[in-house]
């Protein structure tokens, strides 16, 4: 029996950013065919000559001007054969983490606007992108407790209180800050710098940095990063 396929492969990117003690997702606004404009995750069809990861990087650069530091494949969405009314499209979703405080976003190509949205203020999105985003949030929350990916959401040098607030915000849990600080510093992968916060309020606060090389070396020797909450 002849098997004729007319299936397209797309990639979609959930780009998370963290600023002002809130978690954000990066969305683009565009018009799909003759339908009205919708907000959507950045992404598009994979070209014949590129890999999936190359397609994500290209689409993000073209539509949002974002270059990534952390990106990971999330899930494949295609069980709903009518997820895109125009064609049969299977989407391979990725999620990425960026320092939103020092990032210039700019709409280009088929994106009319690009904007950060707080996670609790996400509008109705095109296709099944709300479900894709929710899957990304679930993965981020889980992985934050067993890999130090949260540092990709912070500047290279940060206040320790910013790290504490990041965990509280994303995991939606309160932490015992003294124990959290003791636990993080015991890993030996977060270092105090000689620099201070430029914010002049009260006692000057030292800045910290994540030593990624040291973490990678420790991980090769079996080190396990783990943050638990009661």
Q: Are residue 136 and residue 154 in the same domain, yes or no?
A: no
| 164 inside domain | yes
Q: What is the CATH number of the domain that holds 48?
A: 3.90.79.10
Q: What is the CATH number of the domain that holds 195?
A: 1.10.10.10
- 143, 161, 195: which is the final residue of a domain? 143
Q: Are residue 164 and residue 208 in the same domain, yes or no?
A: yes
Q: In the prediction, which pLDDT does 86 show? A: 80
Task: Give the pLDDT mean for 40-69.
Answer: 93
Q: Are residue 112 and residue 131 in the same domain, yes or no?
A: yes
**Burial class of residue 44 in the structure, from the number of CB atoms within 10 Å of its CB (0-12 exposed, 13-18 middle, 19+ buried):** buried
- 126, 143, 160: which is the final residue of a domain? 143
Q: Supply angle C-alpha 38, 42, 46, rounded to 5.
A: 120
Whether 136 has a pLDDT exceeding 80, the answer reads yes
- 22-49: pLDDT as tens digits: 999 999 998 665 567 889 999 999 999 9
Q: In the prediction, which pLDDT does 33 show? A: 59
Q: Are residue 183 and residue 134 in the same domain, yes or no?
A: no
Q: Are residue 92 and residue 194 in the same domain, yes or no?
A: no
- 161-174: pLDDT as tens digits: 999 999 999 999 98
Q: Are residue 39 and residue 135 in the same domain, yes or no?
A: yes
Q: In the prediction, which pLDDT does 1 show? A: 62
Domain count, the chain: 2
pLDDT band at 84 (very low <50, low <70, confident <90, very high): confident
Whether 214 has a pLDDT exceeding 80, the answer reads yes
> What is the span of the domain harbouring residue 181?
149-220
| 227 inside domain | no
Helix (H/G/I), strand (E/B), else coil: 188: coil
Range with lowest mean pLDDT among 17-21, 68-72, 187-191 = 68-72
Range with lowest mean pLDDT among 69-83, 158-172, 194-208 = 194-208
Q: In the prediction, which pLDDT does 37 show? A: 85
- 95-112: pLDDT as tens digits: 999 999 888 999 887 788
Q: Nearest-CA neighbor of 100 among 27, 8, 179, 17?
A: 17
- What mean pLDDT value characterizes the chain? 92
Q: Are residue 48 and residue 89 in the same domain, yes or no?
A: yes
Question: Do residues 39 and 132 make contact, with C-beta atoms less than 8 angstroms apart?
Answer: no
Whether 224 has a pLDDT exceeding 80, the answer reads yes
Q: Nearest-CA neighbor of 155 among 40, 69, 230?
A: 69
Q: Are residue 118 and residue 17 in the same domain, yes or no?
A: yes
The pTM of this model reads 0.92
| 107 inside domain | yes
pLDDT band at 148 (very low <50, low <70, confident <90, very high): very high
Task: Give the pLDDT mean for 182-197.
Answer: 95
| 1 inside domain | no
Q: In the prediction, which pLDDT does 185 show? A: 95
Q: Are residue 118 and residue 138 in the same domain, yes or no?
A: yes
Whether 193 has a pLDDT exceeding 80, the answer reads yes
Q: Are residue 23 and residue 73 in the same domain, yes or no?
A: yes
- 98, 114, 143: which is the final residue of a domain? 143
């Amino acid at each position: 029996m002849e098997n004729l396929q007319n299936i397209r492969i797309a990639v979609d990117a959930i780009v998370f950013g963290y600023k002002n003690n809130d978690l954000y997702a990066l969305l683009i606004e565009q018009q799909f065919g003759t339908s009205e404009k919708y907000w959507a995750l950045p992404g598009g069809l994979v070209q014949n000559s590129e890999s999936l990861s190359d397609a994500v990087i290209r689409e993000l650069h073209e539509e949002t001007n974002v270059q990534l530091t952390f990106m990971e494949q999330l899930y494949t969405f295609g069980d709903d054969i009518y997820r895109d009314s125009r064609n049969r499209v299977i989407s391979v979703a990725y999620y990425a983490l960026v320092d939103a405080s020092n990032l210039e976003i700019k709409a280009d190509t088929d994106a009319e606007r690009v904007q950060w949205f707080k996670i609790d203020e996400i509008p109705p999105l095109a296709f099944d992108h709300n479900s894709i985003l929710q899957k990304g949030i679930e993965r981020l929350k889980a992985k934050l407790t067993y890999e130090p990916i949260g540092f990709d959401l912070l500047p290279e040098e940060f206040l320790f209180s910013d790290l504490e607030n990041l965990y509280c915000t994303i995991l939606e849990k309160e932490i015992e800050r003294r124990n959290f600080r003791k636990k993080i510093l015991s890993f030996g992968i977060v270092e105090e710098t000689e620099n201070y916060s430029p914010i002049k309020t009260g006692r000057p606060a030292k800045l910290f940095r994540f030593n990624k090389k040291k973490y990678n070396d420790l991980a090769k020797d079996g080190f396990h990063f783990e943050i638990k909450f009661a």
